Amino acid sequence: MITANDASIRPAQRVEVFTGTGRRRTWLREEKVRIVAEIASSGNSVCEVARRHGLSPQQLFGWRRRLRDAEAASAEPGGLEFVPAVVDADQPAVASRPKVETVAGTIEVEIGDVKIRIGRGADAATLAMVLRALKAGA
């Protein structure tokens, strides 16, 4: 028995024709960022943007998730941060070595009875002046 909803008698809704060898394409990170940004800027759906660029929606969803995760990882306050350090070999060793510890974006420098706490975003010139004064008084 054939019904009106039978797929064998309905006309095709959409036909996609694939041409070429079907090889994998490589996308630069900048291209991925631009295409993912197009979703928000154009107001189109992920499927429309994917179709326009010859991608599957799943691929575009994956790019968007990975870019969002990478941005979140780089913005985490508890992430690793590197600070340049300079060792002056010409200076004699100080008897009491400074004690330095880092706590949630704050650096503490303790030399003898003096303790300095340096917060995130401290001005480098002011900090250098304070440390020079501390060193001169030690």
Are 128 and 89 contained in the same domain? yes
Find the helix or strand (DSSP H, E) in which 44 lies.
none
* 102 confidence band (pLDDT: 50, 70, 90): very low
Domain housing 126: 81-138
Are 99 and 120 contained in the same domain? yes
Q: Is residue 39 a part of any domain in this protein?
A: yes
Q: What average pLDDT does the structure give for the chain?
A: 75
Phi, psi at residue 46, to the nearest 5°?
-60, -40
- Domain total for the chain? 2
Rounded to two decimals, the pTM is 0.40
Q: Is the pLDDT of residue 28 over 60?
A: yes
Q: What integer is the mean pLDDT of 106-135? A: 76
Are 34 and 66 contained in the same domain? yes
CB 99 within 8 A of CB 110: yes
Q: Is residue 108 a part of any domain in this protein?
A: yes
